[in-house]
Amino acid sequence: MGRITILLLTAAWLSGCGKDAPPNKPELPKIAAPSWSLGTYDAAPPPPGLPASTQPPTCWKAAYNGTPPATVWVCGYPTGGRAFDAVQRTATGANTVKFEEDRYLVVVSCPALNDPAARDGFQSLVRAIQQKLKSAAK
């Protein structure tokens, strides 16, 4: 084989590397709605209710400080199809929202939503996270 053939084969092989790698840790809004600010945001195990998988996602857990506090799990999958499947199969409880954005499954939980103002703020938090992830996917 000639040098050019070896270089082309090497380039083709390298371009296929990393295709099944989960995405990087996405940026989340530092302040969301009038009542929440991002506290911690670190690597974490998958959220409760996520079915076991032969290829578990890479997950991060964020704590939003506010009244009431909220918890956000962001799990990255190698493909959007896996994230979509996960959002369909993940069990959630009361005061919890789950959605898929690109290659991410997002679970947002706020156990103490007792009044309409807190629920409105929670919806604003979820929308802010969705918008941040949508803009990152572009």
- Residues ≥6 apart with Cβ < 8 Å to 119: 113
pTM: 0.82
Instruction: Spell out the per-residue pLDDT of the chain, length 138, in tens.
Output: 555 544 444 444 444 444 578 899 999 999 987 788 999 999 999 998 898 888 889 999 999 998 889 999 999 999 889 999 999 999 888 899 999 999 999 999 998 888 887 888 889 999 999 999 998 776
Tell me how far the alpha carbon of residue 119 is from its chain's centroid: 21
CA-CA-CA-CA torsion sign (120, 133, 56, 82): positive
What residue ranges do the domains of the chain occupy? 20-137
> What are the residues facing 10 on neighbouring strands?
none
